[in-house]
């Protein structure tokens, strides 16, 4: 059984969607410390000037607060600002309206915290692309597994009876790969395909929101997902 554990991301890039496709169980990891500069509350899009950020501003929070504790700002119209930026950036895209309806649907609701908003955005994108995220979703809070860093990740995978843990590149610096193997769990890293697709505004870049793909290719977007992994030894050259 393939286990993926990830912090929720705002309208995530295609590489995150590929990771979700590979998961038999996807653990929403929102009870961990929020990091400034993460993709929980911001993502890049493309417009005529190049790549730019869509950022959800946050209420004041204390260092160390969890993703499921920080809250979107209630005093600014960031929803309207985002929609205007998206309308301007993708006015020439053939499926711009599909993308805008998707974003409006997410933004019509209120969310208790940034983690809930980011997860809702992921579920909306997956629903549009017919990726069954909701059916494989578990929440780390409900699993109630204690610990930190690599130890906690391993404990979660074991509790879920996983045989393979599939992770993004950021885990390279903290994951105790050998300990996973001692428990019969294979660790594999994403080998992001980054398949090029027809994209507005200059040279292709994969490092933008999946909203960009949807605006340009609509229901056919899923064909540009090509999930692949590498064993941790190949990835780390050990």
Express each pLDDT in 186-220 by its tens digit: 999 999 999 999 999 999 999 999 999 999 999 99
Q: Spell out where the chain has E strands.
A: 2-6, 25-28, 42-47, 50-55, 137-139, 164-167, 186-190, 229-231
Judge contact between 122 and 12, C-beta under 8 A.
yes
pLDDT > 80? residue 126:
yes
Separation CA 77–CA 55 (nearest Å): 12
pLDDT > 70? residue 110:
yes
Which phi and psi (to 5°) does residue 79 adopt? -60, -50
**Domain enclosing residue 98, as ranges:** 2-237
Q: Please state at what angle helix 96-107 crosses helix 114-128, rounded to 10 degrees.
A: 150
Query: Residue 61 — very low, low, confident or very high, per pLDDT cuts 50/70/90?
Result: confident
Which residue blocks in 27-89 are alpha helix, DSSP H?
78-89
> Radius of gyration of the chain from Cα atoms?
18
Which phi and psi (to 5°) does residue 182 adopt? -60, -25
Query: Residue 238 — very low, low, confident or very high, per pLDDT cuts 50/70/90?
Result: low
pTM, two decimals, is: 0.95
Amino acid 82: pLDDT: 98
pLDDT > 90? residue 148:
no
pLDDT > 70? residue 108:
yes
Candidates 102, 126, 106; CA nearest to 20 is: 126
pLDDT > 70? residue 130:
yes
pLDDT > 80? residue 71:
yes
Candidates 96, 49, 62, 57; CA nearest to 73 is: 57
Both tokens assigned to 99: 């993308």
Segment 62-81 mean pLDDT? 94
Look-up of token digits 């050990």: 238
Count of domains observed in the chain: 1
Segment 158-181 mean pLDDT? 95
Look-up of token digits 């977007």: 221
Segment 18-32 mean pLDDT? 97
Both tokens assigned to 21: 């496709």
What is the Cβ-side half-sphere exposure of residue 103, based on CA atoms within 13 angstroms?
26
Candidates 32, 85, 41; CA nearest to 59 is: 41
Judge contact between 26 and 136, C-beta under 8 A.
yes
């Amino acid at each position: 059984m393939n286990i993926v554990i990830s912090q929720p991301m705002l309208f995530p890039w295609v590489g995150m969607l590929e990771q979700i496709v590979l998961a038999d169980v996807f653990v929403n990891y929102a009870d961990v410390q929020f990091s400034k500069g993460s993709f929980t509350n911001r993502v890049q899009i493309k417009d005529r000037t190049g790549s730019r950020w869509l950022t959800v501003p946050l209420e004041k929070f204390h260092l160390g607060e969890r993703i499921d504790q920080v809250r979107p700002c209630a005093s600014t119209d960031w929803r309207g600002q985002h929609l205007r930026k998206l309308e301007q950036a993708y006015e020439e895209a053939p499926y711009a309206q599909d993308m805008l309806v998707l974003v409006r649907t997410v933004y019509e609701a209120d969310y208790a915290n940034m983690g809930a908003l980011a997860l809702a955005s992921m579920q909306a994108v997956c629903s549009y692309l017919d990726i069954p995220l909701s059916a494989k979703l578990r929440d780390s809070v409900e699993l109630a597994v204690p610990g930190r860093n690599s130890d906690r990740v391993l404990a979660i995978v074991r509790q879920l009876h996983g045989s393979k843990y599939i992770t993004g590149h950021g885990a390279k610096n903290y994951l105790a790969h050998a300990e996973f193997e001692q428990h019969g769990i294979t660790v594999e890293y994403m080998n992001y395909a980054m398949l090029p697709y027809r994209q507005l505004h200059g040279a292709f870049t994969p490092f933008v929101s999946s909203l960009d793909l949807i605006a340009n290719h609509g229901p056919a977007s899923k064909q540009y997902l090509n999930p692949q992994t590498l064993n941790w030894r190949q990835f780390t050259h050990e």
